[in-house]
A = this chain, B = another copy of it.
Amino acid sequence: MDAAPPPPPRKLPRDARRKQLIEATIEVVAERGYARTTLTEVARKAGLSHGLVNFHFQTKESLLTETLAYMSEEYRDNWGRALEAAGPEPEEQLDALIRADFNPEICTPNRLAAWCAFWGEASCRPLYQEKCGSNDEAYIALLERLAQELAAKTGRGGDAALMARVIRVVMEGVWVDLMTQSAAYSREEGQRTVHCAVSALFPQLFGPDGLR
């Protein structure tokens, strides 16, 4: 018996379709909000048929869950890569994290709006914990380590956990501002705002434009 020629790869189109649908979901959630996101609209945005969404993701909840996980991974990959590329000093690493946070590929209006939508929706929170909790914890732990090292290095006292938290919520808050149409300031000014906070905490190492 002749060996049949290898069938065309099945897994690739499958994953491509899933990614296509997830990207469409991000757009729809960003545009219409969580409450008004429907599978029909997602399918329309992706240019696919309604039934296909349920074929690839069995339920709506599953689609949203996987979208959230996708964004969380993407976010973690982003700061992970930035960290690897950065120098060994804590101030270099913190600077890399901040710049990564404002990476134009991640810090997109749609991405930001989608984050906020998932975040505001109470029913997503347990889900969020499950899917993204570990990523978040890793990020927080990293920030705390860096804050600790920076505090030690600059001889400055204070609670490193609090400082780490200040840095984190400033970054988050600027994100949210950027997403709100009204608070209209640029991504650059957002970054300067984070630098303002960091330079207040570690004035020897950071200035208004970042790493000294």
Chain A residues packing against B (C-beta within 8 Å) = 30-36, 113, 116-125, 129, 133, 158-159, 162-163, 165-166, 168-170, 172-174, 176-177, 180-182, 189, 192-193, 196-197, 200-201, 208
Contact = CB atoms under 8 A, between A and B. Distances in A.
Contact of A123 (B33, B170, B193): B33
B123 A36 contact: yes
A22 B143 CA distance: 40
B163 A196 contact: yes
A182 to B, nearest CB: 5
Copies of this chain in its oligomeric complex:
4
A120 B118 contact: yes
B123 A120 contact: no
Contacts of A189: 162
Contacts of A121: 33-35, 117, 120-121
B129 A122 contact: no
A123 B181 contact: no
B119 A116 contact: yes
